[in-house]
Structure 1
Amino acid sequence: TIPADVSEKILRFARAGIAAATLRGKSYLSMGSVAMGIAGSIVDPEFFEDYFNMRCISVDMSEFIRRVNENIYDPEEFERAMAWIKANCKQYEDIYNGKDGKTPEQQQAIWEYVAKMVIIARDLMIGNPKLAELGFGEEALGHNAIAAGFQGQRQWTDHMPNGDFMETILNSSFDWNGIREAFVVATENDALNGLAMLFGHLLTGTASGFSDVRTYWSPEAVKKATGFDLDVPGMIHLINSGATTMDATGRQNADGKPAMKPFWEISADEAKACLDATSWVPANLGYFRGGGFSSRFLTRGGMPVTMSRINLVKGLGPVLQIAEGYTYEPPKEIHDQLDKRTDPGWPTTWFVPNLTGEGAFKDVYSVMANWGANHGAFNYGHIGADLITMAAMLRIPVCMHNVPEDQIFRPNAWAAFGMDKEGADYRACANFGPLYR
């Protein structure tokens, strides 16, 4: 008979092993041209091969233009997509551009273009046998991608519609073809954040959120800015230009509470509720000159979530950051004022990390101050223990986490590297080296 706590740790270890094994033979598809100024957008093929046994494949963004211009997509699916968009995607007012905004005819053309971008990006990732029937045998194959990233900014978005709609739809668990497994597509081709999204998705079966780790709000700052008192010790504004999964609206209910479910548990009504909670804002032409549409929603509060990110440090290698906490839904009077101070046309998730009173989790500010980049992935549930186990298997040390010690499970060999568990993790990972090197 195995004690319950040991059984649970074995289960987590097995789940992590399954997730790690899933990476084998797959690729990361980089859809971009010249890497952005974000370090995570510079895809390191050797890192992917050594640590994950994954290939990196790069496709220039001009491939989207070629496939649109030469009709290399399923025309029947495109018509179905446009009908679904008309029925389910509510266009919000143009809050950015005033008289300089796109005309209704131009906006309709952009809707058609971004719908094609969704189909083309998916076809690039996993292929589409329909293309072979249309005479495009090579394009029908796809790239066997388990994750992808779209660079977008700035060469693309200075002239073409942005990738927000494409990324939101692919990262969600439903589209015009019904409920299906969410894809993993990193905004701005931040491959390191894409890996964190992938880990969370493989471990939970749920969609992964991609957000900027944008602003820390203390109770004092909230009081000064809005006149209202905050009933949490502070919060972090997770927001991006409109590519966060619609699952993050929290409209999938579990026992009457907001949740993000594995795709096989989502009902049609719950998918529709996520769509109804989302509106689409015409892009700010000040920096998205080609237009586009950004999702706009507020995540419901009370969901347990885990934020994570991989950082790549020269001379050290990869490290993993983990922060367990909860989504928070402030009173409308607070949210509306703070939202306008950042960007009211983008999706918002207010995140309150669990605090330990020391180190990086001394307070909410310390969590953000110790975060390694302005991007973070988040997944439903407190899955920090799963991430720590999988990171050990992949030889990635964890530099920051707030997981209770009795939940942490690493291979027994880690005990040979000292009694300070964090230091032992670093030494063991350095000694054993990447799993696939």
Structure 2
Amino acid sequence: MRDLIAEWRLDFSGIKGQPELTQYFATMDITEAFLNDPYDWNGPKQPHVCATEADMDGALTMQLLKQITGTPVLFADVRHYHADRDIWDLCNSGQHATWYAARSDDPAENLGRVHLYPEVFFFPAGGASVHHLAAPGEMTFARLTRRDGAYRMQLMLGAFETYDQATNEALMKQSTWEWPHAFARLDADAGAFLSRFGANHIHAVPGDQRATVRATCDLLGVTLDEFTRAS
């Protein structure tokens, strides 16, 4: 992937993955995680946005957020809603950058919380899942979706949460334990979110970046669809 990115001078990329790679070659979880990271086995580097499932509206969202924050951008499935806690388990194969495990400038601190596990039955070609739990903190969630063929930026504030080890493990096991997880509390009513949010993937960056995202949308002429508990 690094060779292809250099040869084709790509600003960001996506990998289709299923079913060809995941059935007959190997999964790209490690590749996707470390492309999105600010480091790899060669040392520090700029994150290269890479979206799984060749979700290029997701990659475009991530590229905008990366330019705003300079940090890796989370890519995740909207996988499961724990109604009893009002939190979402954002979980997608190995796609989460390992940086989110601790959000530390020291790669060893992040990677000390990461485990590689054999892929589950979805991916018979094998490879490794990049398992970790995202560190807690305030986050901005965003996603470019389309309505009647036009882009809209769906935006909300929220936070990642973690709990005691037993609770973390029990919650992860309600979906796919081997994959990376982020427990997210969104400033959005669950019913409104499910009825309006226009994608199965969502993206996040640390802190409250909403003002800059709003300004970016205004400059680009992109409609803003903002969620809050009040709306």
* C-alpha deviation, 1:170, in angstroms: 0.5
Pairs within 5 Å for 1:25-424: 121-125=1-5, 127=6, 142-219=7-84, 230=85, 234-252=86-104, 266=105, 270-284=106-120, 286-301=121-136, 303-314=137-148, 316-354=149-187, 361=188, 363-402=189-228
* C-alpha deviation, 1:272, in angstroms: 0.6
Distance between the aligned counterparts of 1:348 and 1:369, measured in 2? Answer: 23
Distance between the aligned counterparts of 2:203 and 2:62, measured in 1? Answer: 5
Deviation readout 1:264-299 (Å, 9 max, x if unpaired): xx2xxx211111110101111x22111111100111
Quote the residue 1:413 is aligned against.
Answer: none
Deviation readout 1:370-418 (Å, 9 max, x if unpaired): 32111011111111111111111111101234499xxxxxxxxxxxxxx
* C-alpha deviation, 1:145, in angstroms: 1.2
Deviation readout 1:102-151 (Å, 9 max, x if unpaired): xxxxxxxxxxxxxxxxxxx12211x2xxxxxxxxxxxxxx1221110000
Aligned partner of residue 343 in structure 1, secondary structure: coil
Name the TM-score, length of structure 1 as normaliser: 0.51
Structure with the bigger percentage of strand: 2
Q: Assess, with a 3 A threshold, how the Cα gap between structure 1 residues 327 and 368 changes in structure 2: closer, same or farther.
A: farther
Distance between the aligned counterparts of 1:320 and 1:384, measured in 2? Answer: 11
* C-alpha deviation, 1:364, in angstroms: 3.9
Distance between the aligned counterparts of 2:31 and 2:165, measured in 1? Answer: 29
How many aligned positions are there?
230
Q: Work out whether residues 235 and 364 of structure 1, in 8 Å CA contact, stay in contact via their aligned partners in 2.
A: no
Q: Assess, with a 3 A threshold, how the Cα gap between structure 1 residues 368 and 381 changes in structure 2: closer, same or farther.
A: farther
Q: Which runs of 5+ in 1 are unaligned?
A: 1-120, 128-141, 220-229, 253-265, 355-360, 405-437
Question: Percent sequence identity over matched residues?
Answer: 25
Deviation readout 1:31-50 (Å, 9 max, x if unpaired): xxxxxxxxxxxxxxxxxxxx
Structure with the bigger percentage of helix: 1
Name the TM-score, length of structure 2 as normaliser: 0.94
Letter in 2 for 1:202: Q
Q: Work out whether residues 236 and 368 of structure 1, in 8 Å CA contact, stay in contact via their aligned partners in 2.
A: no
* C-alpha deviation, 1:180, in angstroms: 1.4
* C-alpha deviation, 1:306, in angstroms: 0.9
Distance between the aligned counterparts of 1:163 and 1:298, measured in 2? Answer: 19
Q: Assess, with a 3 A threshold, how the Cα gap between structure 1 residues 251 and 394 changes in structure 2: closer, same or farther.
A: closer
Letter in 2 for 1:289: P
Distance between the aligned counterparts of 1:281 and 1:305, measured in 2? Answer: 27
Distance between the aligned counterparts of 1:295 and 1:238, measured in 2? Answer: 14
Specify the structure having the higher radius of gyration (Cα). Answer: 1
Aligned partner of residue 157 in structure 2, secondary structure: strand
Aligned partner of residue 153 in structure 1, secondary structure: coil
* C-alpha deviation, 1:161, in angstroms: 0.4
Distance between the aligned counterparts of 1:148 and 1:175, measured in 2? Answer: 17
* C-alpha deviation, 1:353, in angstroms: 1.5
Q: Assess, with a 3 A threshold, how the Cα gap between structure 1 residues 371 and 330 changes in structure 2: closer, same or farther.
A: farther
* C-alpha deviation, 1:320, in angstroms: 0.8
Letter in 2 for 1:153: Q
Aligned partner of residue 159 in structure 2, secondary structure: strand
Q: Work out whether residues 146 and 198 of structure 2, in 8 Å CA contact, stay in contact via their aligned partners in 1.
A: no
Q: Work out whether residues 146 and 152 of structure 2, in 8 Å CA contact, stay in contact via their aligned partners in 1.
A: yes
Deviation readout 1:52-91 (Å, 9 max, x if unpaired): xxxxxxxxxxxxxxxxxxxxxxxxxxxxxxxxxxxxxxxx
